[in-house]
A and B are shown apart, each in its own frame.
Chain A
């Protein structure tokens, strides 16, 4: 794709925002009537500590051009260390993306304090610009192609009992049933 085409395409950007800081900052950006890229789809999560590698990978698998996780400033996490965990998860997922063959730059972690409405708008623009520069996610054209998924698993019910082949009780049961059939034939 040429440079012009890159500039023209409208990227899909997913923002996982924590309730307490980044999402509130987004609210503030709205109240302040700040304009920011409409490409950003905000997903509200309770805490960025909830973010899991699989959530981030699925977003890319479903065709997102860029994904970012926005959490509280260091030391400000409502749950004390949720944002620290998210930083680890994002760093790990970046490595996985590189292994897969996607640009790790498509994923980022940002600290956005609740009072930073302008910063929220700035990060949204920044990530959209980055997605434009990197071009569309190469998987986007193939999102519809079936490539597998999760199979349904039967709940663990009562496990089948192994067939008894030995033991006193079995022999006794055999004797009783043999005696019963003898008496039947005798009668």
Chain B
């Protein structure tokens, strides 16, 4: 899932300076699970901003609503009857959601409420780690399910480098060396021959931004129509 982190209250406060009516829009999918921008967190942010505003003697209204997802047009449509009444909208979705909301309501000021961190997994209660960097060319079949693109700071496809130090990384002694992990895993599953093969250079053109992808089925339908 996409992992996010709430922006400091001061930063949000500075963004909404001068606005009187503000709507906070939460996103009920990834960022709700990563405890950054779901219904609960929107409630906390709204309550905090309301209290801060009152304490500082500001006349402002902060309303809250959470939609199922902000990366689908259908769900953003539900906001149409409310958005017009506000001076600014704070979105606590990931960067993608904020942009899609800003695109749908293009005459509104849309502000981000969280910092989007990475695509990751929940290690335990309240702890997430990055596991994928969306490189568009998955190589986990050759590395025993451990991603050197994400976990190795040097993105090495043929590792480890000389900086591996007792299973730790030279860049950050706290972090595990991806290639030590891969070696141990391959040894465990009896596929060490894989690690001996030299990997050809990766096709980084697949990562060119901004990405766009059309599902094969929809491509077919379009092509058929054009004919």
A: residues with CB less than 8 A from B are 52-54, 57-58, 60-61, 96, 99-102, 138-139, 142, 145-151, 153-154, 156, 159-160, 165-168
Q: Which residue of B lies closest to A152 (CB)?
A: B65
Q: Does B48 contact A (CB under 8 A)?
A: yes
Roughly how many angstroms separate A52 CA and B41 CA in the complex, as a whole number? Answer: 11
Residue of B54, B63, B67 ringed by the most chain A CB atoms within 10 A: B54
Residues in A neighbouring B66, C-beta threshold 8 A: 153
- Contact: A149 with B64, CB < 8 Å? yes
Q: Does B60 contact A (CB under 8 A)?
A: yes
- Contact: B50 with A166, CB < 8 Å? no
Residues in B neighbouring A53, C-beta threshold 8 A: 40, 44
Given contacts A102-B55, A139-B51, 16 further A-B contacts (CB under 8 A): A54-B40, A57-B48, A57-B51, A96-B48, A100-B9, A138-B55, A146-B61, A147-B50, A147-B61, A147-B62, A148-B64, A149-B63, A151-B64, A151-B65, A153-B65, A166-B222
Residues in A neighbouring B64, C-beta threshold 8 A: 148-151
Residues in B neighbouring A160, C-beta threshold 8 A: 74, 77
Residues in B neighbouring A100, C-beta threshold 8 A: 9, 48, 51-52, 55
In the complex, per-residue mask of B42-85: 1 if CB is within 8 Å of any chain A CB, else 0: 01101110111111100011111111100000110110001000
| Total inter-chain residue pairs, C-beta < 8 Å | 85
Q: Which residue of A lies closest to B67 (CB)?
A: A153
Q: Does B127 contact A (CB under 8 A)?
A: no
In the complex, per-residue mask of B75-106: 1 if CB is within 8 Å of any chain A CB, else 0: 10110001000000000000000000000000
Q: Does B221 contact A (CB under 8 A)?
A: yes
Roughly how many angstroms separate A150 CA and B66 CA in the complex, as a whole number? Answer: 9
- Contact: A52 with B40, CB < 8 Å? yes
Q: Which residue of A lies closest to B78 (CB)?
A: A154
Q: Does B225 contact A (CB under 8 A)?
A: yes
Roughly how many angstroms separate A160 CA and B76 CA in the complex, as a whole number? Answer: 12
Roughly how many angstroms separate A150 CA and B9 CA in the complex, as a whole number? Answer: 20
- Contact: A57 with B67, CB < 8 Å? no
Q: Does B224 contact A (CB under 8 A)?
A: yes
Known: A148-B62, A150-B43, A167-B225. A99 touches B48 (CB 8 A): yes
